[in-house]
Amino acid sequence: MFRCGIAYPRCRWILPLLLLFALIFDLIAIAATSGWVEDEDAKSHYANMWDQCRGRNDHWDCKSLMEFPWAQAVAALMIIGFLLLLIAFIISCSALCCTVDFTLLPAIIVLLILVVILQVIALIIYPSKFSEQIFEGDYYYTWAYGFGWGATILCLGCSIIFCCLPKYEDDITGIAKTKYIYQSD
């Protein structure tokens, strides 16, 4: 006899794990020194969230982007988003991993939606202002910028799933009877 069902009590570990991945992706995007943007042709210019560098091989002349108000705004929004994500991760670990406490879910949802809003604004400001003020040819956005979007998309998905969790409260706590997707005799 074969039975296939969803073990909801084990699924409660997945959301904090996804938030941990979002934290890691956000940290990579914020701390990346290789650049968010690179010159496509000559590989002679790149810029990350903090500074821009020009040159070749080992001879790079780097200038801080923090002299521009838009770069300061991007850095502030990304860091605030990271801190809110860290708080949401800690709350989700205590709400789902230690004990099952569904009263904390609205706080997690609000924090994640704020993270998404702040980081979408930052990730839209950066390319538009970079193109307007520093753009000098063909550029492409690198993996570090992609990690910023990846963290934002994970936060959006997790906020939607956290909104759906109260519907499955009995299943997650183990009170409900197991529902089998497939059962053969």
For the chain, list the domains and their CATH numbers: 2-34+76-184 (1.20.140)
pLDDT of 5 > 60? The answer is no
pLDDT in tens, 10-62: 667 888 999 999 999 999 999 887 778 887 765 777 788 888 888 777 787 88
Contact 141, 37 (CB under 8 A): yes
Beta strand spans in the chain (E): 2-5, 37-39, 45-47, 51-56, 59-64, 139-141, 180-184
pLDDT at residue 155, rounded to an integer = 94
pLDDT in tens, 58-95: 787 888 888 989 989 999 999 999 999 999 999 999 88
Q: Which residues of 40-73 are buried (b: 16+ CB within 10 A; e: fewer)?
A: eeeeebbbbbbbbbeeeeeeeeeeebeeeebbee
* Closest to 44 measured CA to CA, from 62, 69, 19: 62
